[in-house]
Amino acid sequence: MKIIILGAGQVGASVAEGLVSEENDITVVDQDPARLAQLQDRLDLRTVVGDAATPTVLRSAGAEDADMVIAVTQSDQANLVACKLGQSVFNIPTRIARLRSRDFLEDESLLASDNFAVDFALCPEQVITDYIRRLIEFPRALQVLNFARGRVCLVAVRAYEGGLLVGKPIKAMREHLPPEIDARIAAIFRDNQPVFPEGDTVVKAGDEVFLLAAAENIHPVLNQLRRQTARVERIMIAGGGNIGLRLAKSLEERYEVKLIEGRRPRAELLANELNDTLVLYGDATDEDLLEQENIAEMDLFLAMTNDDEDNIMAGSLAKRLGCKRVVALVNRRAYAEMIEGGPIDIGISPAQVSIGTLLAYVRQGDVAEVHSLRRGAAEALEIVAHGDRNTSKVVGRRIDEVQWPKGVTVAALVRNFEQPIVVGQTDDWTAITRYGEVVIAHHDTVIEPGDHVIIFCTRKKLVKKVEKLFQVGFHFV
């Protein structure tokens, strides 16, 4: 596929890295020659220096025979103009735009083909907000991801000394769960290296364990396997930019929220925009300010400024002063890997968090969901199975019959989305109903047509091999 990426910032570079390894013909456009040169040194792609919202530059990038344009510059206006030019001048079939403004995102008619002609709108700030909200619901999780329309949940946790599974084989997990609940350890990372999870694999303290279960079961499973943790009630946010504002708005009704902003005009604007959030004008790295605002009583500190160093400093200070848990936004992947597990509990790379929804759309076909794991080193994907035993390498076969690439784990299947499943009761008369049957994968589980198969790939390069396995043909026997 011939793809033009407009913008070589964090999101654009991550998208290019995610797609260039899949044998796509990639061209990246940006106004910064140094940034493009750095990208070209790392990846096998073409670059063009210029304004992405002009026909001349788009033509130089190969727009006349491109299959897709992905406009992820810092400017909403430039992204929208590029998509419109891609449709009206160059007839590019698929057009994707990164948008920050609520005005464009909330009025879908503006993105229709007779207006700005955007097929898919990506808002990284909203994706990150949703991601952090899920982390808040699981106080000790490193990562929380949903699959199959929310029917399945994947949670990454750190195995701790004295935990029920530490020092025991994975198959012992069954002993700690009620008979009606099933779960699966989809992957283990030990010292940053993948450990293939088999029944006899022993979990060690410090392992990063990816645990998967039906959404209604994930809390009971974690409660069985980890020490109980108090729920989050008090949250402090450092940084009142787009992400900080979105977070505060989404959290203030359920939690006690304080937000620190270092620019007075912005702080005043935030105070007017937010209803139940206490907005503080000041520096989040000011020890006196944090102590004055009772940082030691906070359950969670979210460092969400635009500056990596400020986030690291503010987060480290908050932890030293007694805050229970610290999450920091860190754009540089090397920083995120270096700081996580120290005073900062979780380092979030915005580009890596938001890229999954975009990759799922770009790959299209039968890939319903893609999640980047461990800052892009691994991926979890949800892929739909089609065909039958004669036309597919996976359908109609037991999981242990399929020749999966080394490093690939089939974790679960979801089938029959039209079928209501009772998953609990709110009271004696009211049932909680979900749609779709969750099947935790075991070696003898048979993949059926239409199943949404959730697969864990310990290396990103394995994704293409998995997709090929699911292709339907007429020569399989």
- The ranges of the chain with pLDDT < 70 are 21-22, 225-229, 333-334, 336-337, 339-341, 363-365, 375-377, 423-431, 473-477
- pLDDT of amino acid 475: 47
Per-residue tokens: 467: 């997709």
Strands 300-303 and 234-238: parallel
Q: Are 456 and 382 in contact (CB under 8 A)?
A: no
- pLDDT of amino acid 327: 93
Q: How many residues does the chain have?
A: 477
Fold of 2-122: Rossmann fold (3.40.50)
Going by C-alpha positions, the residue among 306, 115, 301, 140 that lies closest to residue 209 is 140
- pLDDT of amino acid 265: 95
Q: Are 351 and 14 in contact (CB under 8 A)?
A: yes
- pLDDT of amino acid 303: 96
Architecture of the CATH domain 128-225 = 2-Layer Sandwich (3.30)
Residue-wise pLDDT for 266-277, tens only, equals 999 999 999 999
pTM above 0.85, yes or no: no
- pLDDT of amino acid 365: 55
The values of phi and psi at residue 409, to 5°, are -125, 125
Where in the sequence of the chain do the CATH 3.40.50.720 domains occur?
A: 2-122, 234-324
Going by C-alpha positions, the residue among 163, 148, 167 that lies closest to residue 212 is 148
- pLDDT of amino acid 397: 94
- pLDDT of amino acid 427: 57
| CATH no. of 359-469 | 3.30.70.1450
Fold of 234-324: Rossmann fold (3.40.50)
Q: Are 45 and 18 in contact (CB under 8 A)?
A: no
List, as one string, the DSSP characters of 258-324. Answer: EEEES-HHHHHHHHHH-SS-EEEES-TT-HHHHHHTTGGG-SEEEE-SS-HHHHHHHHHHHHHTT-S
CB atoms within 10 A of CB 80: 24
Where in the sequence of the chain do the CATH 3.30.70.1450 domains occur?
A: 128-225, 359-469
Q: Are 349 and 336 in contact (CB under 8 A)?
A: yes
- pLDDT of amino acid 425: 63
- CA 71 to CA 29: how far, in whole Å? 9
Counting Cα atoms < 13 Å in the Cβ hemisphere of 183 gives: 32
Angle ∠(308,295,157) on CA atoms, nearest 5? 65
402 DSSP 8-state letter: S
Q: Name residue, tokens 């949940």.
A: 153
